[in-house]
Amino acid sequence: MRFLIFFFSLLTLSFSVSAANIPIHIELNYQVSTDIGEGEIQEVMEIKHNKKGSSYVINSEAQATGIFKIVEPSSLVRHSEGILTKQGLRPLQAYERHGKKEPSSVAFDWENMYVTLKHKGEEIKEKLPAGAMDRLSMSYSFIFVPPPKDSLERTVVHNNQVRLSHYKITQEPLKTALGELHTIVVTRQEEQGSKLKRKIWLAPDYNMVPVRIVSVEENGREIDKIITQIHIRYSNGHCSEKTSKPETTQRRRCH
């Protein structure tokens, strides 16, 4: 009981600090493991403030390494952009591009409440549920809202689907190349017999950034990405950095 009180006190403190001093630049590096090899992912999130409000851009690029690079020589690029509201991230458009293939894209029309999805040469329009997100903005959304407690519902738009999912919230220690991190775990509750899977580990000590994501995609491939480097710069000019690389070979940017 005492641990639970400490845990939720930590979450409240983490959110109050992040709300008072908002991250404006986040760089995350991951090591990726799949059933056919390994790779690396770099993700960068930028927050910009002006007289009209605040906007965000998230870019993610995955590149195979080693033998996996022979099988998958092309990079996988994901992009999401939108605005930052009192309710958190509100995406306006997102896309996913594998090599030179035609990208899958999503356009959110919040004024008319519909979403346009383009996937594999087909375009469809669907009703846009309140609070809907693309997959990339969903992973970063917890930075800007109070931390979840026991469960949550979230509509995620991906490829040609608009899907309402239920998530269970737990907490656990996570061993990483950065050391052991305390994490909040967001696990999607799948229907019985479903092969799909998505589980996100968030780090309260680093503004709730995603430090591990495990998913099983529609093609059955399991992907496990886990953090190797964190760099966060805040609106007051301060920054927080954690890396698995030796300090002698890593260019330090926090002072």
- Encode pLDDT of 23-79 as tens digits: 999 999 999 998 777 889 999 999 998 878 899 999 999 987 765 555 555 688 999
- Encode pLDDT of 175-200 as tens digits: 999 999 999 999 999 877 677 789 99
C-alpha span between 232 and 211 (Å, rounded): 13
Q: What is the pLDDT of residue 159?
A: 86
**pLDDT bucket at 22, cuts 50 / 70 / 90:** confident
249's tokens = 């070979």
Per-domain boundaries in the chain:
2-243
Mean pLDDT value of segment 211-217: 91
- Measured CA to CA in angstroms, residue 115 lies from 76, 77, 106 at distances of 23, 21, 7
Q: Higher model confidence: residue 61 or residue 217?
A: 61
**pLDDT at position 249 over 70:** no
Mean pLDDT value of segment 143-156: 92
Radius of gyration over every alpha carbon of the chain, rounded to an integer in angstroms: 18
Q: What is the pLDDT of residue 212?
A: 98
DSSP-derived secondary structure for the chain: -HHHHHHHHHHHHHHHHHHHS-EEEEEEEEEEEETTEEEEEEEEEEEEEETTEEEEEEEEEEEEETTHHHH--S-EEEEEEEEEETTEEEEEEEEEEETTSPPEEEEEETTTTEEEEEETTEEEEEE--TT-EEHHHHHHGGGSSPPP-SEEEEEEEETTEEEEEEEEEEEEEEEETTEEEEEEEEEE-PPTT---EEEEEEEGGGTTEEEEEEEE-TTS-EEEEEEEEEEEEETTS-EEEEESS-TTTS-----
Mean pLDDT estimate for the chain: 85
pLDDT above 90 covers what percent of the chain?
A: 63
- Encode pLDDT of 82-92 as tens digits: 999 999 999 99
Q: What is the pLDDT of residue 66?
A: 63
